[in-house]
Structure 1
Amino acid sequence: MNIIAWAVLGIVAGAIAKLLYPGRQGGGIFSTMILGIIGSFLGGSLYTLLTKGTISLTATGFSLPGLLVAVLGAMIAIFLWGLVTRSAA
């Protein structure tokens, strides 16, 4: 998949994940795109691990199942980012 398709998938997956994830997340379109691309890789890698039993860095394809996996990966990325940036107050 080329970089433009990853960017489009990232924007869509990140936006859907931010809509579905409870709470308020900051950031603009660039952070949403980065979050979606990271989610695409995270979701694709987890899907490969669960289905094939191997660990590999793979991104999801530009399809409806690929979008669903990317959204789930982006939601995991939102959760992990919230853990990292949470203040200790």
Structure 2
Amino acid sequence: MGILSWIILGLIAGALAKWLMPGNDGGGWIATMVLGIAGAFVGGFLGSFMGFGGADGINIGSIVTATVGAFVLLFVYNRFLRG
């Protein structure tokens, strides 16, 4: 999957994660989108590691996988890094 696809997938995942997990995030939508891009990588890694398949294209399964990764990163950010 190309880097542009990862970015688009991450933006979609970040938007979904922000919409489903609203709250007072420090950076607002932009920081959440960046976390979504990183979440696409984390979700792809976790999905591959657990045998569910990684984020391998812009499709429903990859969006779900990337959104789960974005949830993980948002949880870590909100609970541990923001204090």
Per the normalisation by structure 1, the TM-score is 0.76
Distance 1:30 1:20 in 2: 16
- Structure 1 segments of 4+ aligned residues over 3 angstroms from their partners: none
Question: Which residue pairs with 1:10 in the alignment?
Answer: 10
Identity of aligned residues (%): 38
Per the normalisation by structure 2, the TM-score is 0.81
> Structure 1 stretches of 5 or more lacking a match?
53-58
Distance 2:25 2:42 in 1: 19
Aligned length: 81
Q: Decide which structure has the larger Cα Rg and report it.
A: 1
Alpha-carbon distance change, 80 to 71 in structure 1, aligned in 2, over 3 angstroms: same
> Residue 50 of structure 2 aligns to a residue in which SS?
helix
Distance 2:26 2:70 in 1: 14
Aligned residues: CA RMSD: 2.1
Question: Which residue pairs with 1:80 in the alignment?
Answer: 76
Alpha-carbon distance change, 30 to 24 in structure 1, aligned in 2, over 3 angstroms: closer
